[in-house]
């Protein structure tokens, strides 16, 4: 099997750039090992190990201009020392250097020289790959940003905690071409409540929810316009509020016939809703069973509409409770 361009990147280009940058900061700019470690997000013993031997070019001398590398090293050192670059900027700058070399640049030409068949085929694999991933990467980042914004918006409303089930919850969102839970973004470890406010364990990421993500995929099989989902606490009060808002609620058929097959239950519910030409939001009540808390699943066309619905329901619950306390 031929050596892929990525092997040159992982084994030669990145280690060489890291080594050159460390040597430049230490020997030319007189930066201490401890400061270099902090600048490059590595440990001080790693800096010491890198400085123990000169940078090794390997085959890089055959395809990368030394002037280009030197220019990158000086620019990187300048921007890191002046704090013009953060970790994100550093990653982007290195990847730009690498991607340009792959798409018709030095590494592309060198790779073709090693494997003449690629030159005969007029290989454009990297061009096609990056072109296909461009839209996908943009969409995935937009979905993650939408989840962050949704969470921050909900967190501004203390009433939202009244909707959180005892088993806690999550909010999931799918990409337009989602095929597995790896295409569904969610919050790792679910959304919980701490000191009467929403709390997440970490930033949203793809593949973080197998349970709710799988249910959303099932919903999208029948309703292509459904993009996101969540589950909220069940109570007669919440059911009453949702019905007064003209939302119809289907019940999950938890019968022995399904033998606990959760997705089969949802499959039949969504099929029924499809036949009835139901429109978003889709609401499914899970009555629960021994060891399973009753909850209400909500599926919507877009995250902003789902956010608005959750805030509306939570606000109505709060107002109703206030009227009960102060008749």
pLDDT of residue 294: 93
* Residue 100 pLDDT greater than 90, yes or no: no
Strand-strand pairing, 249-251 and 282-286 = parallel
β-pairing verdict for 228-233 and 295-300: antiparallel
Task: Find the mean pLDDT for residues 290-312.
Answer: 94
CA–CA gap between residue 293 and residue 182 (Å, rounded): 26
Helix/strand/coil for 289? strand
Q: CA 242 to CA 161: how far, in whole Å?
A: 17
Residue 25: count of CB within 10 angstroms of its CB: 24
DSSP of 150-167: HHHHHHT-GGGGGG--TT
Residues 64, 57: Cα–Cα separation, whole Å: 9
Q: Which CATH entry fits the domain spanning 138-325: 2.60.40.10, 3.40.50.720, 3.40.225.10, 3.40.190.10?
A: 3.40.225.10
- pLDDT tens-place string over residues 166-211: 999 999 999 998 999 999 999 998 999 999 899 999 999 999 999 9
pLDDT at 326: 45
* Per-domain residue ranges of the chain: 5-123, 138-325
Output the average pLDDT for the chain: 90
CB 241 within 8 A of CB 316: yes
**Structure confidence at residue 320 (pLDDT):** 59
Contact 101, 107 (CB under 8 A): yes
Take residue 178 and report the two structure tokens written for it. 């989602």
pLDDT tens column, 10-68: 998 999 999 999 999 999 999 999 999 999 999 999 999 999 999 887 788 777 778 88
Question: Does the pLDDT value for residue 165 go beyond 70?
Answer: yes
Q: Where are the beta strands (DSSP E) in 141-271?
A: 171-174, 184-186, 191-194, 197-200, 205-206, 228-233, 249-251
């Amino acid at each position: 099997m031929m050596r892929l361009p990525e092997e040159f990147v992982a084994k030669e280009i990145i280690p060489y750039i890291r080594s050159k940058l460390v040597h430049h900061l230490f020997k030319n700019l007189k930066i201490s090992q401890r400061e270099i470690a902090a600048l490059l997000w590595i440990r001080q013993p790693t800096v010491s190990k890198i400085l123990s031997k000169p940078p090794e070019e390997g085959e890089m001398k055959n395809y990368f201009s030394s002037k280009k590398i030197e220019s990158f090293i000086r620019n990187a050192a300048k921007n890191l020392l002046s704090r013009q670059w953060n970790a994100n900027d550093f990653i982007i700058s290195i990847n730009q250097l690498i991607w340009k070399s792959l798409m018709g640049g030095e590494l592309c030409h060198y790779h073709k020289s090693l494997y003449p068949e690629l030159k005969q085929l007029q290989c454009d694999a990297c061009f096609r790959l990056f072109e296909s991933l461009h839209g996908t990467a943009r969409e995935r980042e937009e979905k993650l940003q939408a989840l962050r914004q949704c969470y921050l918006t909900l967190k501004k409303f203390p009433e939202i905690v009244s909707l959180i089930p005892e088993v806690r919850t999550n909010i999931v969102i799918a990409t337009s071409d989602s095929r597995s839970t790896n295409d569904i973004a969610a919050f790792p470890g679910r959304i919980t409540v701490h000191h009467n406010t929403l709390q997440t364990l970490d930033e949203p990421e793809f593949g973080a929810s197998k349970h709710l993500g799988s249910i959303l995929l099932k919903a999208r099989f029948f309703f292509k316009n459904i993009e996101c989902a969540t589950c909220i606490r069940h109570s007669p009060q919440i059911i009453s509020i949702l019905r007064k808002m003209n939302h119809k609620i289907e019940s999950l058929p938890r019968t022995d016939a399904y033998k606990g097959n959760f997705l089969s239950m949802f499959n039949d519910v969504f099929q029924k809703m499809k036949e009835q030409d139901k429109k978003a939001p889709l609401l499914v009540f899970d009555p629960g069973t021994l060891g399973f808390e009753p909850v209400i699943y909500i599926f919507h066309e877009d995250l902003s509409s789902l956010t608005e619905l959750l805030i509306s329901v939570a606000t109505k619950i709060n107002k109703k409770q206030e009227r009960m306390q102060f008749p």
